[in-house]
A and B are shown apart, each in its own frame.
Chain A
């Protein structure tokens, strides 16, 4: 899922201070699971903003709404009839949701309430870690299901590099060497022969290097 982190309250206050009617718009998907922008976080942020501005002697209208998703037209349409009641929207969705809402409601400022971090997994309570960089050409079949693109600091495709020590990466003693993990996994799978095969030059045009990406599926288009 997409992992996001709440923006500092001070930053959000700074962004919304000039607006009188503000809608806090949550998203029921990824940001709910990573506890950054779901219904609960919408309630908390709305309460915090109300209290802050009230203490400053300003009574602002702070609305709360959480959509099923902010990356789909039909759900974003649900706020069409209320969007004009607000001067600005703080979207707690990932960057995708903020942009999609901004594209739909041209005359309402859309402000992000979270920082979108990565595509990751919920490894433990309160711990989310990156697993994918959406490079567009998946190599996991050759690397024992462990991604060298997202988990190796250098994105080395024939590793490990010289910075790997005792299974850890030179960038931090807390970061596993992805290639150590790959080797361990290939050993467990009895597929070390795969490790000996030199990976060909990767097609990075499907990554960000090729510009913004689109997926067109004629088979599902109506």
Chain B
């Protein structure tokens, strides 16, 4: 297909989105990610029946936590598509990258950078 997708994100492959845990999402932000999205199979098409439903719940939990601590729950999102929908995958990646660019950098990352600059200056 040779579709053009942004280069601003890294793909982490999982055997099933049901493998993702809330701590994986939070650690990504703790380590400085500006956003994260999970792309699972279509709802009802999970090989393990409910892997993508579990993932959606965890994404929602992570979003709620990120909202509460001021990082911003809108930085995480769950998408569903089938393996044959390459153009949609490209579209989602563009959509998510644009959304994150609008939101700006992760405040935790910014604070870390500020603190390390201060430490360097001192």
Contact = CB atoms under 8 A, between A and B. Distances in A.
Contact of A59 (B21, B29, B71, B115): B115
A55 B71 CA distance: 8
Interface size class of B (residues with CB under 8 A): 10 to 19
Nearest to B64: A9
Contact of A55 (B22, B23, B108): B108
Nearest to B26: A47
A170 to B, nearest CB: 34
Nearest to B68: A9
14 contacts: A9-B65, A47-B27, A48-B69, A50-B30, A51-B29, A51-B71, A54-B30, A54-B112, A54-B115, A55-B69, A55-B71, A55-B108, A57-B114, A59-B115
Contacts of B107: 55
Contact of B68 (A10, A43, A47, A54): A10
Contacts, number: 45
A19 interface: no
B23 A57 contact: no
Contacts of B111: 54-57
Given A9-B69, A47-B23, 13 more contacts: A13-B69, A40-B21, A43-B23, A44-B23, A44-B26, A47-B27, A48-B26, A51-B71, A51-B108, A54-B115, A55-B69, A55-B71, A55-B111
Interface in B9-24: 21-23
A54 to B, nearest CB: 5
9 interchain residue pairs of minimum CB distance: A52-B69, A47-B26, A43-B23, A55-B107, A51-B108, A55-B111, A9-B68, A55-B108, A54-B108
